[in-house]
Amino acid sequence: MIYSFNNDYSEGAHPRILQAMMETNLEQNNGYSMDTHTAHAKERIRQEIQCEDADIHILVGGTQTNTLGIMSALRPYQAVICAETGHINVHETGAIEAKGHKVLGQLTEDGKLTPSHIQQALDWHTDEHMVQPKMVYISNATEVGTQYTKAELEAISTFCRQHNLYLFLDGARMGAALTSRANDLTLADIARLTDLFYIGGTKNGALFGEALIIMHPDLKPDFRFLIKQHGAMLAKGWLLGIQFEELFQNNLFYEMAEHANEMADQLRTGIADCGYGFHWNSTTNQLFPVFPNDVIDKLEKDFLFSRQAVIDEHHTCIRLVTSWATRQDGTDAFLQALRSIAGK
Amino acid sequence: MIYSFNNDYSEGAHPRILQAMMETNLEQNNGYSMDTHTAHAKERIRQEIQCEDADIHILVGGTQTNTLGIMSALRPYQAVICAETGHINVHETGAIEAKGHKVLGQLTEDGKLTPSHIQQALDWHTDEHMVQPKMVYISNATEVGTQYTKAELEAISTFCRQHNLYLFLDGARMGAALTSRANDLTLADIARLTDLFYIGGTKNGALFGEALIIMHPDLKPDFRFLIKQHGAMLAKGWLLGIQFEELFQNNLFYEMAEHANEMADQLRTGIADCGYGFHWNSTTNQLFPVFPNDVIDKLEKDFLFSRQAVIDEHHTCIRLVTSWATRQDGTDAFLQALRSIAGK
Amino acid sequence: MIYSFNNDYSEGAHPRILQAMMETNLEQNNGYSMDTHTAHAKERIRQEIQCEDADIHILVGGTQTNTLGIMSALRPYQAVICAETGHINVHETGAIEAKGHKVLGQLTEDGKLTPSHIQQALDWHTDEHMVQPKMVYISNATEVGTQYTKAELEAISTFCRQHNLYLFLDGARMGAALTSRANDLTLADIARLTDLFYIGGTKNGALFGEALIIMHPDLKPDFRFLIKQHGAMLAKGWLLGIQFEELFQNNLFYEMAEHANEMADQLRTGIADCGYGFHWNSTTNQLFPVFPNDVIDKLEKDFLFSRQAVIDEHHTCIRLVTSWATRQDGTDAFLQALRSIAGK
Amino acid sequence: MIYSFNNDYSEGAHPRILQAMMETNLEQNNGYSMDTHTAHAKERIRQEIQCEDADIHILVGGTQTNTLGIMSALRPYQAVICAETGHINVHETGAIEAKGHKVLGQLTEDGKLTPSHIQQALDWHTDEHMVQPKMVYISNATEVGTQYTKAELEAISTFCRQHNLYLFLDGARMGAALTSRANDLTLADIARLTDLFYIGGTKNGALFGEALIIMHPDLKPDFRFLIKQHGAMLAKGWLLGIQFEELFQNNLFYEMAEHANEMADQLRTGIADCGYGFHWNSTTNQLFPVFPNDVIDKLEKDFLFSRQAVIDEHHTCIRLVTSWATRQDGTDAFLQALRSIAGK
């Protein structure tokens, strides 16, 4: 049997989440997220971010949340700036363009934007013959496993406010970022420094669900119209509420992400011990080791993962992802296999 | 405590569905509906519709499914014809227009389109200064609880094929239609007579899920690109597969809908026995009785339902919806309360 | 040779307009409407509407102007209310829907909206499951040749401001309205009572050109981005400026429209004298007489016009349109032919 | 007085074109390009491209033509590949994205795409999580004044047909390309090698007008619906027809472009003789010389042109554009001024 490090959404949900769904199954709830579980989950999140007047909408998936968050803020001729590796630029089948907006992908070293990347995009777009950059999109953790420090996020936030740009933070892997050893940010910091952001459930132990938090007052009105129009208003919306109630009760959200990071740390150390390097220096639950192709061929007999990039004729970067559900015996087996192949 | 007849998606899911989710929770599945549960569910549906080469995509919600099904078929200047009461014309916040297409709502008596309604729309749209009607959208059961006979559906189907129009059938309440006493259609008939249609899970005992079935070969290519772009590709797609596996194993889909209809039949008879009439002659699980306003005021103390339309100064049409989860003691209580108010 | 009453844009432009284009042909002008002719034309229009701070954009065509004016004001889930006969509802191939917005066509008697029509649309759209009406679109003159009185326009304007709706007035046939005997409005009134409107050149003696005037401050920012994105920014934009300079110098705009109305008045009287009636009681340069079909067949041998609507088995409503270029001998010939056919 | 080399659309039209408009001004023509002048112009173009069954639509402007040509060919999730300098990627305010399509700009040396650029874009877009490249957009002449040889265009055409990609050629500056000394292509070659392309009038002596030629049968149906919906159907469409009649009678189209190229050649030689270089090696009517900043400051006193790019602290690339209307005394004056500044 093959063990999968293919992604962090290969299993269902944490048992406590399923349990909560069982227990509430025959309640009669109001539809469309107008239920008491959702209200309670939002209350918990507002405490967590230390902001009483944030608007919160819990949505089913990440592409949906990115699309709605971005389109809510932009007029038809406005564009969003992101890293060239940004999820919206590559892996959402042009969802943002489908809503009419150009995505201005900027080349970065490590998947992280800086004010100078943003300035460059502004410098190129100066009049009505070009799109008007109006939003900055960043991910934390990023698509290549790196993450922002508080100083970096503050610099971006300050720049955006000076230049009248909205700042959107994709937190599909927020849990992994916040519980990494490299982290010095809190949800309250992120709420303070961005205009809207979300907390990912799908990749951190929920069946599905992303909690979009709107801080900027201009972006709050009528958001539910956008959700409904986009087909993103779940009829049995309390299913989202119940999951986020569980995630933010008794620390479950952080515990699961810590586990994912712990498993990633073990893999990272073990791989380095075998003498292999990494294409990006991830600090979270995605790893991008570079292996000789014959090593990869052998690993693929027992493990599932994706090939990320061809490095040269003989080497390839693969992607390994750990999660709340990654088993200790899975990581042990991987490292044992690698050591055996590497002759260490 | 208040008992709700507000809609057919107030409770979670049938216990067998939850049970299946529990049992498979720690399996490692491929994401994005590329898993074996989904493959198996599709296989079961293909048997049910007696068509081996249908393309099937199980999506999360109805507005999403309507939007994707319709947009997949239309070029930018093409329009869809429907009843003025059609869900896409009223209750989806302009989702079809948001994809660029005009919805040509036709006035009907009973929420059902006929070839003559469609002909009228064609007569009005004759050249490139107007939109080009290219699809017909019908619902079965309709939004007002009525349903199509086989003869009626055959007439529409023949007309559409003669006029080169795609026929789309919204089956959000397909279960209620197929198990009604008035029904003479099968899923195989519907597959044969339409170009694409869907089988609703959300309103018939699943947590969520609508199985879109594409019959017309022109509409099959690249559909997954549309799903992904629209943010409608569920990461843990096997959750949809598992639910439809259960629905179409051991008759669960039909059993649940039969129960909803049985509860509706009891209400219908009981209401008529009290001397009240109905605004539309529903044969399925939605009822539209007309009551004096003071009767409604009293009923609202113990029951939840919506006011559908003002009939005159003293009378209002309400909407009562039953479901797989409607309890016998709920309908009994409603009728008892009504009889008591009516003095019968 | 056949004489055409088919529309008011069958000929080129008034000779003074062509003359101005000849005289300026080899000037080197700034492109994209940043030239001095356009600046001067705008200045003249601002004087005419008695408003110094209106934003003005001269665009090429009517559908373009409707589309940009409407999309500039609406968020994605918002809709525009109009008469069912409104040009945007029927004859623009779904241009407004192509920008994502539902058009809520209201049935009217005479192509004119009233506050009660608008109220009805508001009553039907009450929450986020439906589109949100945010703009009212009217035409003056209307598509069926009728026109608004000052009292009627004031009533609509007041209603819109009370209900936070933008009011857009399509003035493709503004000249015909303002110079009709039934008119009591001025451009300054219209500027005061609407949020944006336009003055049509195409149908009143220009080669092309519609001057969009934006009164509401919320709609002014960044409008040129929308123009450019939509492909509506004419490279040699001074061609638009030159034409509106001429139209609003020495009264040319009004003179041409008066001629069109005078020709229509002659036709109207002559047709009535022959004993025929009209489908709509137009007061402007479009006439909708109802003739027996055999009369129409005979008229078609010498005259070009369109059939508007079948009235009954034996009668049809046709449309006759006069313009700045309609010749006296053309109308004389038509009436003579009609009298001869009618035996009068 | 300042002489402008700012672009090739600073003056009106060739006198023969204006003359034709004068002569036909009072004809009664059918609207919307259904007139005999347009029919005749299309006939002339079909002869020129040696293809009897091409569909031709003469549109007002370039952004409009690019938008309609591209959107006509792409399904919602499909993308267009172009050079990063491509007009659609930079200077159309996101018009293509506004229709829902991602533009995949590829970095090039000289504004020209090669099969290897296209292959690279294909390599990166492999499944439904990414957009699907379906069209290649090239310009001839390019935005940086370069142009394709017949061998280069054949290579791209072959590649596109092998990979099932539509090939679209933006010919806004087609005249300059075809009459350059470096050219070995004919309109008939271009028609044979592309799926759709256009012949620009605006930048070659017409008041406005771009003739879009559709070669691929899949792209022909219903194109007029798209034109109308986009607000791009000129009411007095014969104005476009008349202009293209003139352009392709007695060689006027080629004569005007030859003049523009001759003027550019003189500037190119004169600038090189002064010892200055060029940022791109243009062979057509746009030149991109690099001058010391103080030279530019002095030139700007008497000449109008744009600054294209900062080369280093002391040098800037400017853009000089010649046209059918560029006067010999204008180019003479420019070179004299330059020689005087440069001390040569």
Across the interface, do B128 and D75 touch by the CB < 8 Å criterion? no
Q: Is A275 helix (H, G, I), strand (E, B) or coil?
A: coil
- The reply to whether C333 touches chain D by the CB within 8 Å rule is no
Contact C197, C190 (CB under 8 A): yes
**A122-132 pLDDT per residue, tens:** 999 999 999 99
C-alpha span between B122 and D228 (Å, rounded): 19
pLDDT of residue C1: 72
Mean pLDDT calculated for residue range B109-125: 97
Residue A149 CA, distance from chain mean position? 16
Contact B91, B125 (CB under 8 A): no
Question: pLDDT tier at A271 (50, 70, 90 boundaries)?
Answer: very high
C-alpha span between C131 and C150 (Å, rounded): 30
Residue listed under structure tokens 């519709």: B49
Rounded to 10 deg, the angle between the C252-273 and C328-342 helix axes is 10
| ipTM exceeds 0.90, yes or no | yes
Contact C229, D95 (CB under 8 A): yes
Burial class from Cβ neighbours inside 10 Å (0-12, 13-18, 19+) for residue C82 reads buried
Contacts of A224 in chain C (CB under 8 A): 128
Mean pLDDT calculated for residue range B109-117: 98
C-alpha span between D100 and D90 (Å, rounded): 16
Q: Please name the chains neighbouring C, where neighbouring means 3+ C-beta pairs under 8 angstroms.
A: A, B, D
Q: Which of B91, B98, B131 sits opposite C94 (nearest CB)?
A: B131
Closest to D74 (Cα-Cα) out of D221, D176, D219: D219
Tell me phi and psi for residue A87, to 5 degrees.
Answer: -60, -40
| Model confidence at A168: pLDDT above 80 | yes
Closest to A213 (Cα-Cα) out of A50, A30, A14: A50
| Model confidence at B323: pLDDT above 90 | yes
Question: pLDDT tier at A278 (50, 70, 90 boundaries)?
Answer: very high
Q: Which residues, in sequence order, are CB contacts of D206 under 8 Å at separation 6+?
A: D13, D14, D17, D243, D244, D247
Contact C142, C85 (CB under 8 A): yes
Contact A237, A31 (CB under 8 A): yes
C-alpha span between B129 and B308 (Å, rounded): 37
CA distances from B23 to A11, A158, B239 (A): 12, 49, 12
Contacts of D100 in chain A (CB under 8 A): 94, 97-100
Across the interface, do B236 and A12 touch by the CB < 8 Å criterion? yes
**D101-159 pLDDT per residue, tens:** 999 999 999 999 999 999 999 999 999 999 999 999 999 999 999 999 999 999 999 99
- Name the amino acid, one letter, at B163: H
Contacts of A103 in chain D (CB under 8 A): 102
Q: Please name the chains neighbouring A, where neighbouring means 3+ C-beta pairs under 8 angstroms.
A: B, C, D
| Model confidence at B141: pLDDT above 90 | yes
Q: Which residues, in sequence order, are CB contacts of A123 under 8 Å at separation 6+?
A: none
In B118-177, the residues whose Cβ lies within 8 Å of chain C are 128-131
Per the rule left: phi > 0, alpha: psi between -120 and 50, beta: everything else, B195 is alpha
C-alpha span between C156 and C152 (Å, rounded): 6
Across the interface, do A228 and B92 touch by the CB < 8 Å criterion? yes
| Model confidence at A221: pLDDT above 90 | yes
Residue D12 CA, distance from chain mean position? 18
- The reply to whether B25 touches chain A by the CB within 8 Å rule is yes
Chain D nearest-CA distance from B229, in A, is 7
Contact A233, B63 (CB under 8 A): yes
C-alpha span between A161 and C275 (Å, rounded): 72
Across the interface, do D222 and B75 touch by the CB < 8 Å criterion? yes
Contacts of B64 in chain A (CB under 8 A): 231-232
- The order of strands in the sheet holding D132-139 is D55-59, D210-214, D196-200, D166-170, D132-139, D78-83, D103-106
Closest chain D residue by Cα to residue A124: D90
pLDDT of residue C53: 95
**D292-331 pLDDT per residue, tens:** 999 999 999 999 999 999 999 999 999 999 999 999 999 9
Which of A77, A96, A126, A220 would you mutate first to test chain C, the one with the most C CBs within 10 A?
A77
| Model confidence at B1: pLDDT above 80 | no
Q: How many inter-chain contacts (C to D, CB under 8 Å) are there?
A: 145
Which of C28, C34, C72, C202 would you mutate first to test chain D, the one with the most D CBs within 10 A?
C28
Chain C nearest-CA distance from B185, in A, is 31
C303-304 and A103-106 strand pairing: unpaired
Q: Which of A128, A131, A222 sits opposite C132 (nearest CB)?
A: A222
Contact D95, D119 (CB under 8 A): no
- Tokens for C11? 């000929």
Mean pLDDT calculated for residue range B29-58: 98
pLDDT of residue A219: 98
Residues in chain C: 344
Indicate the average pLDDT of chain C.
97
> Kindly report the CA angle at B134 between B131 and B137, in degrees rounded to 5?
110
Question: pLDDT tier at B343 (50, 70, 90 boundaries)?
Answer: confident
Indicate the average pLDDT of chain B.
97
- DSSP tally for chain B: helices H, then strands E: 14, 13
Closest to A240 (Cα-Cα) out of A8, A9, A95, A24: A24
Indicate the average pLDDT of chain D.
97
DSSP A168: E
Closest to B239 (Cα-Cα) out of B63, B59, B64: B59
Q: Which of B4, B13, B203 sits opposite A28 (nearest CB)?
A: B4
DSSP D130: S
Residue A141 CA, distance from chain mean position? 6
Across the interface, do A77 and D94 touch by the CB < 8 Å criterion? yes
Q: Which of D76, D99, D224 sits opposite B128 (nearest CB)?
A: D224
pLDDT of residue C185: 98
DSSP A18: H
Contacts of C225 in chain A (CB under 8 A): 75, 77, 128, 131-132
Contacts of A21 in chain B (CB under 8 A): 12, 18
- The reply to whether C344 touches chain B by the CB within 8 Å rule is no
**D250-284 pLDDT per residue, tens:** 899 999 999 999 999 999 999 999 999 999 999 99
In D198-217, the residues whose Cβ lies within 8 Å of chain C are 202-203, 207-208
- DSSP tally for chain C: helices H, then strands E: 14, 13
Tell me phi and psi for residue B235, to 5 degrees.
Answer: -55, -55
Tell me phi and psi for residue D317, to 5 degrees.
Answer: -90, 130
C-alpha span between B186 and A309 (Å, rounded): 50
CA dihedral B239, B244, B247, B250 (to 10 degrees): -110
Q: Which residue has the higher pLDDT, D250 or B158?
A: B158
Contact C295, C338 (CB under 8 A): yes
Across the interface, do D227 and B128 touch by the CB < 8 Å criterion? yes
pLDDT of residue A267: 98
- The reply to whether A117 touches chain D by the CB within 8 Å rule is no
Per the rule left: phi > 0, alpha: psi between -120 and 50, beta: everything else, A209 is left
| Model confidence at A216: pLDDT above 90 | yes
The DSSP H or E segment spanning A104 is strand A103-106
Across the interface, do C93 and B77 touch by the CB < 8 Å criterion? yes
**C196-208 pLDDT per residue, tens:** 999 999 999 999 9
D289-292 and D196-200 strand pairing: unpaired
C-alpha span between D282 and D260 (Å, rounded): 13
Contacts of A99 in chain C (CB under 8 A): 76
pLDDT of residue B157: 98
C-alpha span between D104 and D102 (Å, rounded): 6
C-alpha span between A159 and C325 (Å, rounded): 59
Q: Would the CA dihedral through A325, A326, A328, A333 be positive or negative?
A: positive
Chain D nearest-CA distance from B42, in A, is 20
* Percent over 70 (pLDDT), chain D: 100
| Model confidence at B114: pLDDT above 90 | yes
Across the interface, do B92 and C128 touch by the CB < 8 Å criterion? no
| Model confidence at A1: pLDDT above 80 | no
Beta strands (DSSP E) in chain C are 3-4, 55-59, 78-83, 103-106, 132-139, 166-170, 196-200, 210-214, 286-287, 290-292, 303-304, 306-310, 315-321
| Model confidence at D1: pLDDT above 80 | no
Across the interface, do A128 and C222 touch by the CB < 8 Å criterion? yes
CA dihedral C104, C108, C111, C112 (to 10 degrees): -90
Average pLDDT per consecutive 10 residues, chain C (344 residues; last block may be shorter):
94 98 97 98 98 97 98 98 97 97 97 98 96 98 98 98 98 98 98 98 98 98 98 98 96 98 98 98 98 98 96 97 98 98 87
Chain A nearest-CA distance from C128, in A, is 5
**A317-343 pLDDT per residue, tens:** 999 999 999 999 999 999 999 999 988
Q: How many inter-chain contacts (A to C, CB under 8 Å) are there?
A: 42
Mean pLDDT calculated for residue range D201-218: 98
pLDDT of residue B283: 98
| Model confidence at A220: pLDDT above 80 | yes
| Model confidence at B281: pLDDT above 90 | yes
Across the interface, do C129 and B94 touch by the CB < 8 Å criterion? no
pLDDT of residue D177: 98
Contacts of C99 in chain B (CB under 8 A): 100
Closest chain B residue by Cα to residue A26: B11
Across the interface, do D10 and C4 touch by the CB < 8 Å criterion? no
- The reply to whether C342 touches chain A by the CB within 8 Å rule is no
Contact C114, C152 (CB under 8 A): yes
